[in-house]
Amino acid sequence: MSLRTRLPRGRTLGVVGAVGALVAGGLILAPMVSASASAGCRVNYTIANQWPGGFTANVAITNLGDPVTAWTLGFTFPDAGQKVGQGWSATFSQSGSAVTAKSLDYNGSLATGASTSIGFNGTWTSADPVPGAFTLNGVACTGGVTTSPSPSKSASSSPSPSPSTSTPPPPTTGTPLGINGQLHVCGVNLCNQYNKAIQLRGMSTHGIQWFASCYNGASLDALANDWKADLLRIAMYVQEQGYETNPAAFTAQVNSYVDLAEARGMYAIIDFHTLTPGDPNYNLDRAKTFFASVAARNAAKKNVIYEIANEPNGVSWQGIKSYAEQVIPVIRAADPDAVVIVGTRGWSSLGVSDGSSETEIVNSPVNATNIMYAFHFYAASHKDNYRTTVARAAKLLPLFVTEFGTVSATGGGATDLSSTGAWLDLLDQNKISYANWTYSDANESSAAFKPGTCAAGSYTNTAQLTESGAYVRNRIRTADNFPTS
C-alpha cells in the first residue's frame, strides 16, 4: 500500500609544482595552485579537504581553445600511491599514476572561455596529492604559477574525515542556522560545524502550487519564533500542476522560500516532490535542469539541503540508485558541500512497504558522499514493524525523516498520538531529523492549521491549530540540543 494516496498532496592550474599545506588544528588544507595558459585549458585544482589517507579535490576547467562538444581531462599524480575514488560530474579512470576524467552528457559542450567543475575523493600514501601535467583533449595546459588559499565553505565534505581539532568560529546568532552553520554527514549522523551530531525538527509545506498563500513572512515568522522550528521543507511537486508546467516560475518560488527561511535562521530542504509516476528516472532530465539551477544559485548559502526524489514507488532500489548517481554530480558541480537526501524504495519506507528492508541499501549504497537516506511514515498506518526497521537501520545508515504524518497514509482520518509519540521518541533517541506534513490549512487532518487560516493571515493563535498541529508544535517547541563543544 502506498505511504500516501491522498489528494492533493503530498578553482587555475597548468603545470603544478609541490605546494605546502596549510595546517589548522587537525585539518590539512592544501592551497589552490593557479596558472594561465595561452592554449588548451586553465584549471583550478583545489584540495578542499584532507584526512589521514584521503582527500577531496575540486577541479574547475576553463576551455581556452576552440569550442568542444565533449572533453577529456588528463593529469598525472606525483606517485602511483595516489588513487581516484568516488568522483562526480565526470567519468574517472586511472592507470598507474595517470588519470583521465571524461565529460558527461550535460557538461560536455564548452565554448571558448567556458568553464565547468568536477571533483573526486581520493586516497594517498604521500604528503602531496597535487598532480601535474594537465591536458584537455590532449592539449597541454601550461603557464605561470601563482598560489592562493583554498576556499572552503565547510569543515568537511568527505565521507568520514577525522574531526578537526581547530576551533570553529563562535555561533553568529542564536538561531539554528547561526549556531550550527554548514552541516555535513559524519558516520550515521547529521553534524554541525563543530562536528557534533544534531537533530533538526520542523515542518514541510504542502504543494506550493496549491498553498502558496500559506508561505510568507508572517507564517515563517510564526514557524521560526512561535513554533521554534529548525527547518522548512519546500515541497515542489514536479507533476500535479507543478514544476513541469512552468519550470522558471517554480524555481524562482523555491528560491524565494529558501531566502525566507535563511533570513529567520532556519534550514531549507529543497524537495523535488516526485510521487506519480513513482520512478524518479521519468524526471531525470527535469531533475538535472532544476538542481543545476538551484544549486548554482544557492551554493554560497549554508542553510540548503537537497532532497532529490520524494517518494520513489514502483521502482527497484537499483533504479533509484542509478537516478541518484546521475543527479548528485549535478548538485556537486555547483555546491560540493551541501547535504543531499536520497529517497528510498516503497514511498521512502526503506523498502518496507514493498516487502523489503534497509539491507538492499546497506549492501549497495549510493556511490556518493555527504548523503542521507529518506524515511517517511504515517503514524496511524505504520507502526511496530516500521519502527523496528528504523531502529536497526539507524545504526548503519544516515537517515532523515523528511516527511511524517500523525494520521493514516491517506493524509486523513483520526490522529494517532500514541503511535506518533512512539515514533518521535525513537527519532529523538537516534538524533534523526524530521519534518511534519504539513504546515498548511489543507482540508485534511494531517494539516497543522484549520481551513481558512492562511486566508486570514494570522498564524500565532493556537485556537487555529488542528489536533495534529497542536501536538507537533508542542514537540518542536521543546529546547533544541545543539552542542558546540
Coil/strand/helix, residue 209: coil
- Whether 311 and 370 share a structural domain: yes
> 265-278 in b/e burial notation, b at 16+ Cβ within 10 A?
bbbbbbbbbbbeeb
Same domain, yes or no, for 413 and 345? yes
pLDDT confidence bin for 251, thresholds 50/70/90:
very high
List pLDDT tens digits, range 336-356.
999 999 999 999 999 999 999
Is 309 found in the same domain as 231? yes
**Residue 214 within any structural domain of the chain:** yes
- Asked if the structure places residue 447 within a domain, the reply is yes
What 3-state DSSP class applies to 177?
A: helix
**232 located within any domain:** yes
Domain match, 131 and 200 both: no
Q: Which helix (H) or strand (E) holds 345?
A: helix 345-348
CB proximity list for 384: less than 8 A, separation 6 or greater: none
Phi, psi angle pair for 264, to nearest 5°: -105, 10
Domain count, the chain: 2
Domain harbouring 352, CATH code? 3.20.20.80
Average pLDDT over residues 44-53: 69
Single out the catalytic residue among 240, 262, 360, 403: 403
Both 73 and 26 in a single domain? yes
Same-domain check for residues 357 and 247:
yes
Q: Identify the band that residue 50 occupies on the pLDDT scale cut at 50, 70 and 90.
A: low
- Residues 271, 200, 89: CA angle, nearest 5 degrees: 45
- Whether cis (ω within 30° of 0) applies to the bond prior to 389 is no
Question: How does DSSP classify residue 6?
Answer: -
More confident residue, 1 or 293: 293
For this structure, is 403 an active site residue?
yes
Query: Residues 230, 296: one domain?
Result: yes
Task: Tell me whether residue 364 is in a domain.
Answer: yes
Domain identity same for 182 and 99: no
Q: Is 325 a catalytic residue?
A: no
76 and 203 assigned to the same domain = no
The size of the chain, in residues, is: 485
Q: Give the pLDDT confidence score for residue 31 in this predicted structure.
A: 36
Cell of 266: 532556519
Q: Is residue 2 part of a domain?
A: no
Q: What is the pLDDT of residue 128?
A: 59
- CA 180/CA 191 separation, integer angstroms: 8
SS3 81: coil
Domain at 139, CATH number: 2.60.40.290
Q: Residue 99 has which C-alpha cell?
A: 588519470
Q: Point out which residues pair with 22 in neighbouring strands.
A: 29
The answer as to whether 485 is a domain residue is no
Give yes or no: residues 326 and 379 share one domain.
yes
Decide: 116 and 107 in contact? Cβ < 8 Å. yes
Angle 317-334/284-298 helices, nearest 10 degrees? 30
Q: Is residue 484 part of a domain?
A: no
Tell which of 101, 133, 148 closes a domain.
Answer: 148
Cα angle 98, 102, 108; round to 5: 150
More confident residue, 10 or 317: 317
Any domain includes 11: no
- Cβ-proximal residues to 263 (8 Å cutoff; 6+ apart), any chain: none
43 and 81 both lie in a single domain = yes
List, in sequence order, every residue forming a beta bridge with 45; answer none if it has no partner: 33, 59
- 139 shares a domain with 183: no
Task: Quote the CA–CA distance of 127 and 145 in Å, as a whole number.
Answer: 20
Other C-beta atoms closer than 10 Å to the C-beta of 167 total 10
- Does 8 sit behind a cis peptide bond, omega within 30 degrees of 0 on the bond before it? yes
Residue 364 domain boundaries: 176-477
- Write out pLDDT tens, residues 418-440: 999 999 999 999 999 999 999 99
Lowest pLDDT segment from 61-70, 78-87, 170-179, 211-220:
78-87
Residue tagged active-site, from 307, 311, 358, 360: 311
Q: What is the mean pLDDT of the chain?
A: 84
